[in-house]
Amino acid sequence: MPRLRPQRLLLLTTIAVAIFATGLGVWWLVHHDWHRRTVLVDGTRREYLWYAPQTKSTEPRPLVLAYHGFSGTAERMERRSLLHELVDSGDFYLAYIEGDPTWHCFTPIELDESPDVAMVDALLADVLAKYPIDPKKVYAVGVSKGGDFVVHLGLRRSQQIAAIVAQGACILEEQQAERPLAMMFIVGTKDGEVTPETIVAVPQTYRDRGHLVEVIRPKDGPHCWDRSYNQQILEFLFGHTTADAEAAPEGTEQAAPDDEPAT
């Protein structure tokens, strides 16, 4: 059997290595979610999905934190809300936060020591140091229990969170914010988790405390994230900063179109 010349052997070896590297790269792209990130919170690794605009810029951009419902996941919030599809056109950063497994804000001790609030502190410290994010334009949105949590978070971190949007949620908390907070509640008329009385009384209580509150009632809307409001949500959020003067106490309430919500 003839022996291969050193030059040919080197060429074949190089080709084999290139094929292997290409295959490994394809496998990595298929199996690795490059959106998934972690942040260390009091010794625990917490996960989130990260989206950034494809166009690079040194100009500060807004950041939106998105919270799934009870027993949900960041991936499920990603699939159902589709907020990431607006990252480029809206020119903002987005993080879908993963619960542990849900949100800690419903027992007395968690009201003051929620690890999810601590995660926000750690996450903001991390991403604000790495990306050109406008610290005055950090927002939180959530659905169901995630909606409850963004209210909880906004009231406790009103100097860091400029505005919040809660869908399928309308929780009343006694916590007094350090500054007036802009809030939007979106609750369908067929949402069985939020009573008609609640969606009237709770926003009014927050208005009486000096917060700006908008309420949207999608006709026949069930308990879900209605992504047909995504653009309106972003317009509401980006219209507020933590540098805003006092919010209007009266707030507003809006009717909703007759189209069915996306689930």
Q: pLDDT, tens digit, for every residue of 138-148?
A: 999 999 999 99
Q: Which residues pair with 99 in a beta bridge?
A: none
Q: At residue 159, does pLDDT exceed 90?
A: yes
> Among the listed ranges 4-8, 49-53, 139-143, 246-250, which one has the minimum average pLDDT value?
246-250
Q: Mean pLDDT throughout 91-106?
A: 87
Q: In the structure, what pLDDT confidence band is assigned to residue 121 with cuts at 50, 70 and 90?
A: very high
Between strands 44-51 and 36-41, the pairing is antiparallel
User: pLDDT at position 259, please?
Assistant: 43
Query: Cα 117 to chain center, whole Å?
Result: 13
104-108 long-range contacts, CB within 8 A, separation 24+: 105/148, 105/149, 105/152, 105/153, 106/148
- pLDDT for residue 263 is more than 50: no
173 to 102, 115, 147: CA distances (angstroms) = 19, 18, 13
Residue-level pLDDT at 133: 98
The answer to whether the beta carbons of residues 165 and 153 sit under 8 Å apart is: no
CB-hemisphere CA count at 13 Å for 137?
19
Determine the 3-state secondary structure of 126 from DSSP: helix
User: Is the pLDDT at 251 greater than 60, yes or no?
Assistant: no
Q: Determine what percent of the chain is predicted with pLDDT higher than 70.
A: 77
Q: What pTM value is reported for the model?
A: 0.82
- d(C-alpha 156, C-alpha 225), whole Å: 24
